[in-house]
Amino acid sequence: MAQVEQSSLAYADHERELITGEAVALDLRPAGFMLRAAGAAIDFLCVVVLYIGIVLIAFSPLFSQFLDNASAAAVAIASLVLCIVVLPVTIETATKGKSIGKYAIGARVVRDDGGAIGFRHAFIRGLVGVIEVFMSFGGIAAITAMLNGRSKRLGDLLAGTYSQYERVAKLPPPALDVPPELTDWARLADVARMPDALSRRISQFLSQAPKLSPSTRDRLARELANEASAFVSPVPQAHPEAFLVAVSAVRRGREYAALEGERTRLQLLSPVLEGTRRGFPDR
């Protein structure tokens, strides 16, 4: 059971990670199928209400006297195009991937590389959406979204986009300190940089440990301690969970000290980096 949980977490991390050109892993969460369906339903309802409102106004007694049959048909078609293509494309382009439904569910349409979309992406999604969302009542979009890991609809596949979930998560609990029995060890321990995946698994375990059953908690602690021991010297004789807490605390303290040292050095170099050479105009 524990192996299944770990493999599912690893798979989820793989789906959510984006590796930049500087080899930095970004944690990006695509919106799930149900969230996308809820947002699409809200947008669909807004389009229907807007179209009905425009038609009622255009064919009210005040304006209908100026329309013949051909003009009435043209107004109806133009209103439909305006509601299902022009306005959604304009709104997505202006808001960089937002809509009323996406505001409601906390999502945004972004490029596959995580960047903001442009007019081309919104236009492709809008044109394809006429068929897969409105003409099929969402059937094509739902089938396509259920067949890929990021819940992409056909328009996303053609435009190279997906829906990213943007709601801010709850603040994590306060970081743990070095256990008292390992205080002397922490002053002399050599803790090397661990793989990001292992660091995340240790952090997730420590935050979720109180919710686990005693047997599962002990088993996961021993497995993670065995993996982490390859990056620690010397390895203390301590309970695996206490060892993981101490390793996390030591790494956090040393990384914070390194960042503070870097900030201090940059402050010392600030006059040189921000100043201008003698004789050059200050522009």
- Per-residue pLDDT of the chain (283 residues), as tens digits, is 444 344 433 434 444 555 544 444 555 688 888 989 999 999 999 999 999 998 888 888 877 777 778 888 888 899 999 999 999 999 999 999 999 999 999 999 999 888 889 999 999 999 999 999 888 888 898 999 888 888 899 999 999 999 988 876 665 555 577 888 888 888 888 888 888 888 889 888 888 888 889 899 999 999 999 998 898 888 888 888 888 888 888 888 777 777 788 888 888 877 766 666 666 565 5
pLDDT score at 10: 40
Q: Which tokens in the block code for residue 82?
A: 């305006």
Domain boundaries, the chain: 31-165, 180-274
The CA–CA distances, whole Å, from 7 to 3, 101, 172, 201, 253 equal: 6, 33, 23, 11, 30
What is the pTM for the complete model shown?
Answer: 0.55
3-state SS record for 238-254: CCHHHHHHHHHHHHHHH
Go through 88-126 and write b for each residue having 16 or more CB atoms within 10 A of its CB, e for each that does not.
bbebbbebebebebbeebebbbbbeeeeebeeebbbbbb
pLDDT score at 160: 92
The CA–CA distances, whole Å, from 161 to 31, 41, 123, 139, 251 equal: 12, 19, 12, 19, 37
Are 118 and 141 in contact by the 8 Å Cβ rule? The answer is no
- The radius of gyration of the chain's CA atoms, rounded to the nearest angstrom, is 28
> Shortest CA distance to 38 belongs to which of 131, 100, 85?
100
pLDDT score at 170: 62
Q: Which tokens in the block code for residue 114?
A: 């995580």
The dihedrals phi and psi of 212, each to the nearest 5 degrees, come to -85, 155
